[in-house]
Amino acid sequence: MLSSALVVAADAAFAVKSGPVLAVWKGPFGWSGDVDYHGVVTYALEIENTGASIAQDVYMTDVLPANVTFGGWLAQNEARDGVRQRERRIPFRGDAYRRLR
Amino acid sequence: MSDSASVAFRFAVTHTGGYGEWITNTAQVEHWFAGSEWYTDTAWVKTAPELEIRKAVEPLGSLHAGDLLTYTIEIENSGESNAVGTSLSDTLPGGVDFSAWVRQNGTSLEGGRVISWYGSVRPVRRRRGSG
């Protein structure tokens, strides 16, 4: 009795994604020049991920300087549940997705 | 959270400190793989208004009875901030009577002898960094 076996072999290569690359940017928004005495300054704060992977569990904090008071949010992004003003600290904990290419 | 490359926030703060100081604010982001990144922003709070008053009279020299004297009063702000709520008063000396305004510019005459003005004096100094 003859028997035959068919063997199929295949190779596959996978590249492991490079890690996330994070940068934080902060600056006055829609305003240029010096601040008026007891004036209002609007800050824009951005965490950017230029890497290839999602940066999960990112922790960001911004401590307000002594000579200002928090005036309110203009944009909390979609992380509003994770962003709170607490003891003059503005903390955020969440994920920063990779830049779409 | 959407599949976005960045997470952005915007918030407002109100300055509560003094004139002529820096507001320095640092944000820090941390990740177990990517490490830590800082970004520091500084903003300058304008210095206080610095007022100077100048007064000139014409003509110079000796006068005859009945001659007209023209006084020019100028207030200059050499600080960086607006001088809001500035008041000026000038009481006419004895021996003269008010005659007429040459340039009134918001001033008024009170009781026939006191020139008064109230308003804001904008700074003449250029903004820092504007050359």
Predicted confidence (pLDDT) per residue in A25-84, tens digit = 776 665 567 899 999 988 888 888 888 888 888 888 888 888 998 888 887 765 444 445
* Gap from A83 CA to chain B (nearest CA, Å): 9
Contacts of B43 (CB under 8 A, 6+ apart): A28, A34, A35, A41, B22, B23
Q: What tens digit of pLDDT does each residue of B76-111 get?
A: 999 999 999 999 999 999 989 999 999 988 899 999
Q: What pLDDT is attached to residue B100?
A: 92
Does residue A5 form part of some domain? no
Does residue A75 form part of some domain? yes
- How many angstroms separate the CA atoms of B22 and B18, rounded? 10
Q: Provide the token pair at B69.
A: 């004297």
Q: Which residue of A has its CA nearest to B5?
A: A99
Q: What pLDDT is attached to residue A91?
A: 66
Q: What pLDDT is attached to residue A100?
A: 39
Domain count, chain A: 1
Q: Where are the domains of chain B?
A: 51-121
A31 or B15: which leads in pLDDT = B15
A18 or B37: which leads in pLDDT = B37
Q: What pLDDT is attached to residue B2?
A: 41
Cβ–Cβ below 8 Å for A35 and B39: no
Query: Which residues in chain A have their CB less than 8 angstroms from residue B5's CB?
Result: 48-50, 96-100
pLDDT exceeds 90 at position B118? yes
Does residue A9 form part of some domain? no
Going by pLDDT thresholds of 50, 70 and 90, the confidence category of residue A85 is: low
Q: Is the CB of B6 inside 8 Å of chain A's CB atoms? A: yes
Cβ–Cβ below 8 Å for A35 and B43: yes
Does residue A72 form part of some domain? yes
Q: Is the CB of B23 inside 8 Å of chain A's CB atoms? A: yes
Q: What pLDDT is attached to residue B52?
A: 96
Partner-chain residue, chosen from A72, A76, A100, that has the shortest CB–CB distance to B5? A100
Contacts of A8 (CB under 8 A, 6+ apart): none
User: Which of A93-97, B28-32, B55-59, B127-131 comes out lowest in average pLDDT?
Assistant: B127-131
Cβ–Cβ below 8 Å for A21 and B34: yes
Does residue A6 form part of some domain? no
ipTM (interface predicted TM): 0.73
Q: What pLDDT is attached to residue B30?
A: 87
Residue A41 domain boundaries: 22-96
Q: What is the pTM of this model?
A: 0.71
